[in-house]
């Protein structure tokens, strides 16, 4: 383990700096948690990781108003998605 990590207190460790890991880290930080994100890659992976947003993801983004405030908005407002339908 890196010496500089030995004295660091974190509430949550998120493993993976992909779209889901980073979104989780942002949400946890906004909620007041001290978060550390660990990523095994030493350089950014420029491949597309999340080419689309499903209904539940769009709903989550709408709750945070990220979809409305995005300068390149590509998320249409969604209706509540019911898995039973």
Q: Considering the domain boundaries, does residue 5 fall inside one? A: no
How far apart CA 72 and CA 85 sit, in angstroms, is 31
- Quote the number of domains for the chain: 2
pLDDT tens-digit series, residues 17-69 = 888 888 899 889 989 999 999 999 888 888 887 777 788 877 877 777 765 55
Q: Are 62 and 78 in contact (CB under 8 A)?
A: yes
Same domain as 15, residue 39? yes
Q: Is residue 22 part of a domain?
A: yes
What gap in Å lies between CA 69 and CA 16, rounded to an integer? 26
- Give pLDDT, residue 33: 94
Task: Based on the fold, state whether residues 58 and 84 are members of the same structural domain.
Answer: yes
In this predicted model, which residue has the larger pLDDT, 84 or 64? 64
**Whole-number pLDDT of residue 66:** 66
Q: What is the pTM of this model?
A: 0.62
Which of 7, 5, 6 lies closest to 37 in space, CA to CA? 5
**Are 56 and 85 within one domain?**
yes
Question: Is residue 3 in some structural domain?
Answer: no
Identify the residue with better confidence: 80 or 49: 49
| Structural domain of 80 | 52-85
- Token digits of residue 33: 């948690």
């Amino acid at each position: 383990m890196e010496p500089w990590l030995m004295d660091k207190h974190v509430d949550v460790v998120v493993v993976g700096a992909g779209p889901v890991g980073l979104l989780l880290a942002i949400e946890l930080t906004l909620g007041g948690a001290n978060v550390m994100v660990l990523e095994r890659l030493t350089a950014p992976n420029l491949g597309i990781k999340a080419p689309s947003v499903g209904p539940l993801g769009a709903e989550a983004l709408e709750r945070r108003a990220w979809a409305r405030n995005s300068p390149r908005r590509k998320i249409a407002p969604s209706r509540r998605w019911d898995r039973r339908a």
